Amino acid sequence: MAMDFLPTAADFNSRRVTNPSQSEIVRQRFYDYQLYATAGTSQITFFSSPVGQGLTSALGGTAGTPKTLWDTNLELPKQHWATVQ
Q: What is the pTM assigned to this prediction?
A: 0.55
pLDDT tens readout for residues 25-63: 677 788 888 877 777 777 888 888 889 988 888 877 787
The residue ranking higher by pLDDT, 21 or 74, is 74
Kindly report the three-state secondary structure assignment for every residue of the chain.
CCCCCCCCHHHHHHCECCCCCCECCCCCCCCECCCCCCCCCCCCCCCCCCCCCCCCCCCCCCCCCCCCCCCECCCECCECHHHHC
pLDDT tens readout for residues 5-28: 677 878 777 776 666 676 666 777
Tell me what the mean pLDDT of segment 63-80 comes to.
83
